[in-house]
Amino acid sequence: MKFEDLIVFNDQGLIPAVIQDDKSGQVLTLCYMNMDALRKTFETGFVHVFRRSAGRLMMKGETSGHTQAVRSIFIDCEGKSLLIRVDQKVAACHKNYFTCYFREVERQSGEVVVRGEPVVE
């Protein structure tokens, strides 16, 4: 069975993809992909996304050089989301943190605490 047969896109033609570091298991980011982004990801071996704010397809890290080499792709049980395990080059976050999830909300106080430091090349 081909992946195209299992994918369920939303009404904008997109599917959410959780990007996870293959070595550490850390979640790096959540992005959206259309069919073109999926095909380009398979063709090149690097994560491509549909950038909703720009309305275009782009390779993750194309401007920063902080690319994501694909190691494996998983489809959830309903075909409505993806998990892509990658080798992350430098930082996944445009704010130069390894992960986009560097701000933790404290359960008791609701305060936000920054975890980690920006990655420096």
Looking at every residue in the chain, the average pLDDT score rounds to: 95
**Domain ranges, ordered by start, for the chain:** 3-114
Q: What is the pLDDT of residues 18-70, one digit of tens each?
A: 999 999 999 999 999 999 999 999 999 999 999 988 889 999 999 999 999 99
Q: How far apart are CA 68 and CA 28, in angstroms?
A: 10
The mean per-residue pLDDT over the stretch 92-103 comes to: 95
Instruction: State the pTM of this model.
Output: 0.93
Q: Which CATH number fits domain 3-114: 3.10.20.810, 1.10.10.10, 3.40.190.10, 3.40.630.10?
A: 3.10.20.810
- Kindly indicate the confidence band of residue 3, based on its pLDDT and cuts at 50, 70 and 90: confident
**Do the strands 82-88 and 68-75 form a parallel or antiparallel pair, or are they unpaired?**
antiparallel
H-helix or E-strand spanning residue 40: helix 35-44
pLDDT of residue 121 exceeding 80: no
